[in-house]
Structure 1
């Protein structure tokens, strides 16, 4: 599994992870660049990236300079979105290209619509959908559909650009925009949750056996109260454990 950064604005590439190092290249917005790892040197965080022919370079870690793409697996049954291509030289931002239905002047534009939706559970009718219209004289829209357990890179999320959409790319020719309500799991940290749940279950069983052996628990209706209390504590412990494990894992990735 490769790791990518999506460049958000022009950014300088240094030959070494030092501020006084030689600048060997400048990346432009919307580039996807392979990166190896994050390093911290001299009170500065750096991203080690791959250039042509496996040559490495370094970017200063700047929150608005790039977005670290996450490799994800779709949890929803279906998530349908779109991609688009310009027909003219009008390279407007996505926020100005798509509008609520009924807001574009059909006399001045060739107006077409696209439906964007996610289906979490079709049996329970857990569906989120949005109808959009656009000027077909400016752009050509291509529908994009991902199904459950499809894998893709999230190359820009709704939190980063304050958008209704996340931007995705499976690096196999399918890319575009999905609703920000799309449910997906970051596969890089996918192991953390089941591991934490296993530890929490073992901890609950251990606590119960210890209490039973010490005589603190008597087989009666009160056991439901005790069980509820233990379950509540286990949930809190599990959440804390998940956060700790993710923090440790991210710290290890940074230091390697």
Structure 2
């Protein structure tokens, strides 16, 4: 699995992780650049990136200069969205291209619709969908479909940008926009949840056996009450453990 940064604004690339180092390149917005790891030198965090021919460079880690792409696996049964191509050199912003259904004047342009949809559970009819209109004189829309466990990179911060969409790219030719409500798992942290659940189950069993051996628990109908209490505590402990493990793992990941 490769790791990518999406460049958000022009940023300088240094030959070494030092502010006085030689500047070897400047990256443009929307570039996806491979990176290796994060380093900290002289109270400054740096991102070690790969340039052409495996040449290494360094970016200062500033929150507004790049977005660290998330390598994700789709949890929903299906998620559909779109990509688009311009028909002219005029390239307006995304939010000016797509509109709520019924808001475009069909007498002034040729209107078509595109549906975005996520299906979390088709049996329980847990879905979310959005229909948008666009001017076919300006753009051509390309349908985008991902199915359960499909892998892709999330290449934008939808929360910070107050966007309705997440941008995705599987680096195999499929990229575009899905609904922000799309459910996915960060593949780097996939191991955390099952590991935490296993630890929590073993802890509950251990506590139960210890209480039983000490005589604190008597085999009776009251065990159900005890069991519910232990399960509740275990769930809380599991959530705390997951947060701690993710924090530790992210910290280690920065140093490797």
TM-score for both structures, normalised by structure 1:
0.98
How far is the alpha carbon of 1:91 from its aligned partner?
1.4
Q: In structure 2, how many angstroms separate the alpha carbons of the residues matched to 1:9 and 1:106? A: 37
Aligned Cα root-mean-square deviation (Å)? 0.9
Asked if 1:156 corresponds to 2:146, the answer is no
Q: Distance in 1 between matches of 2:190 and 2:20?
A: 39
The reply to whether residue 108 of structure 1 matches residue 108 of structure 2 is yes
Q: Which runs of 5+ in 1 are unaligned?
A: none
1:71 deviates by: 0.9
Cα deviation code 1:95-147 (max 9, x no counterpart): 11110011111111111110000011111111100000011111111000001
3-state SS of paired residue (1:88)? coil
Superposed CA offset, 1:41-98 (max 9, x none): 1111111000000001111111111111111111111100000011122211111111
Distance 2:34 2:212 in 1: 55
Q: How does 1:51-66 map to 2 (within 5 A)?
A: 51-66=51-66
Whole-angstrom distance in 2 between the partners of 1:160 and 1:97: 21
Q: Which runs of 5+ in 2 are unaligned?
A: none
Q: Say if 1:39 and 1:48, in contact at 8 Å, map to a contact too.
A: yes
Partners of 1:157 and 1:180 within 8 A in 2: no
Correspondences of 1:104-253 after superposition (within 5 Å): 104-253=104-253
Distance 1:100 1:43 in 2: 48
Q: CA deviation at 1:160?
A: 3.2
Hey, what's the Cα distance between the residues in 2 that align with 1:21 and 1:221? 72
2-side partners of 1:150 and 1:205: how far apart? 35
Give the number of aligned pairs. 256
Q: Which stretches of structure 1, 4 residues or longer, exceed 2 Å deviation after superposition?
A: none
